[in-house]
A = this chain, B = another copy of it.
């Protein structure tokens, strides 16, 4: 869902779904309308077309024109309440009744809700409402577009009949629609699956298993750089690191509650030594065990245990998508065990870390989705700690407001064991990604019997903050590929510099420079192929290396090299030491 969509835009999109159905039924009177909601970039409507009627993408513009023809006649919506029989019969045609609408109507009846119909122009539909007040005036004819056709099972269940879904895009204005289309086109060019292949970043393989990426050398470099960033940042922030196995016995997951509550998201067990071992789906239970491995006192808190741990989760094979939906998750994980009075400070520090990362990666647009509890559901949906809920939610809110971090508060969507913050960011081309989730945990430390001796000598249970600002390598690198369009900054670029000799006479010098660069851990490549100079420059540019160094007669005479940048063109002729100084500074500062 696009969290920034205004309520009225959702109404327009919903209205357009009605309009689509009206147009389709004018053109195909035997088609059966089913459901048609607003979605994050427009709307869709699912139809059963009579056997023999094939709708192709080429037909969409005709339907779209019909929608534009009807639109001026829709100046308002009226609604009325119907009885069940009236409602069902209103969808009957000479060919019989509409069993889809009948099913929906029966569901409404079974929930003791009212059956409402909404009508605009000559078209009436079963509907809960939420439309543009005056479609003819509110909806600009150039602000929408039918985009594609897809098959969709009735109610998403593959046991049901396959219906025909027609998708439309819709925005407040034609300009916004065009911008969105341009963004999608750019996103296709930057598709992380395409660039990931082209740039040798990752690969999938049937024998290793779907959803389990093999990180090729260039991807492994990015992983190493991200881990280096995380480790440095976390060292400075007083975290300590741990390493834990990728498996554990069922007894641990029974204690944590992953079994049975999270079992369907876990890989199936290995039957071993008369027991069951599971691949870990989260690192927390292992970290709790490390907390519990020593007697802890208030002096040890906050204890911040960090691990780039690899977890495994079941995802349906149909839902796997490049690096965005995978079965292996290398998480920038940490658990902060703290006393209640330390919570606000720790939570603020976590937020500061996010902001530091956003700055490094040039992420300008982000929002924290702050999910809170519902006091009425305490003891049922939420762990029964009314004061802790109130206190921590207040503290979270205070920190977010104080730091002027954009956030939306979503009541009644917290986790069972505490408030939750989902971090959403927008890539350079304006696409939204959910990168990470932070959670406050009142409940699990108690389940694990974690405690520390307080200043007063009494045993207390710590609070636990789960946090993962860089999310998983899989999703974050997927995001970064799109965000940078493959043009990674120097510190992150798999190949940082290409050394290009102008001719064969300069090969030896080029190789010497290449080796000097690598001697200071710069990821340099040298092009000693038979290609001519022009081709070598083109190859270097295509590789997306942030810099290339040219070596020719004049450079050798001057004891210098010529540095060119991917983003800024020629930097100039300079000594190799100067190049190294430029590189070192940019790399150290992650500019």
Contact = CB atoms under 8 A, between A and B. Distances in A.
Interface in A183-220: 200, 203, 205-209, 212-217, 219-220
Question: For the complex, would chain A's binding face be called helix, strand, loop or mixed by DSSP majority?
Answer: mixed
B212 A247 contact: yes
A271 to B, nearest CB: 6
A247 B305 CA distance: 26
**Contact residues on A (Cβ < 8 Å of other chain), bracket:** 35 or more
Interface stretch (A39-47, A237-245, A387-395, A502-510): A237-245
A293 B203 CA distance: 7
Copies in the complex: 2
A121 interface: no
Contacts of A314: 272
A268 B271 CA distance: 7
A124 to B, nearest CB: 46
A220 B242 contact: yes
Contacts of A359: none
The winner among A231, A247, A289 for most chain B CB atoms within 10 A is: A247
A277 B242 contact: no
A200 B248 CA distance: 21
A282 to B, nearest CB: 13
A246 B280 CA distance: 11
Contact of A208 (B206, B208, B289): B289
Contact of A221 (B215, B241, B328): B241
Contact of A245 (B209, B242, B294): B209
Q: Which 8 A-B pairs have the closest CB atoms?
A: A217-B240, A215-B243, A207-B252, A220-B241, A212-B245, A203-B293, A208-B248, A268-B270
Contacts of A305: 217
A221 B234 CA distance: 13
B209 A247 contact: yes
A69 interface: no
B242 A209 contact: no
Interface in A255-274: 255, 267-273
A127 interface: no
Contact of A277 (B221, B267, B277): B267
Contact of A249 (B209, B216, B251): B209
A242 to B, nearest CB: 5
A106 interface: no
B216 A293 contact: yes
A214 B244 contact: yes
Given A247-B209, A293-B214, A317 B232 contact: no
Interface string A276-315: 0101000000100110011000000000010100101010
Nearest to A519: B236
16 contacts: A203-B290, A205-B289, A208-B245, A208-B249, A208-B289, A214-B242, A214-B245, A215-B242, A215-B244, A216-B294, A217-B305, A243-B330, A246-B328, A267-B277, A268-B270, A270-B279
Contacts of A249: 206-209
Given A214-B293, A271-B268, A521-B232, A209 B277 contact: yes
B247 A312 contact: yes
B208 A223 contact: no
A251 B223 CA distance: 28
A207 B279 contact: no
A138 interface: no
Nearest to A213: B245
Given A207-B252, A247-B209, A289-B208, A242 B216 contact: yes
Contacts of A212: 245, 247-248
Given A224-B241, A268-B271, A270-B267, A248 B290 contact: no
B279 A247 contact: yes
A521 B237 CA distance: 11
Contacts of A200: 294
Contacts of A245: 208-209, 212-214, 310, 328
A243 B269 contact: no
Nearest to A212: B245
A321 interface: no
A153 interface: no
Given A207-B248, A268-B270, 13 more contacts: A200-B294, A207-B251, A208-B244, A209-B277, A212-B248, A214-B244, A217-B241, A220-B240, A235-B518, A235-B521, A246-B279, A268-B272, A279-B279
The winner among A217, A236, A255, A518 for most chain B CB atoms within 10 A is: A217
Nearest to A529: B299
B203 A223 contact: no
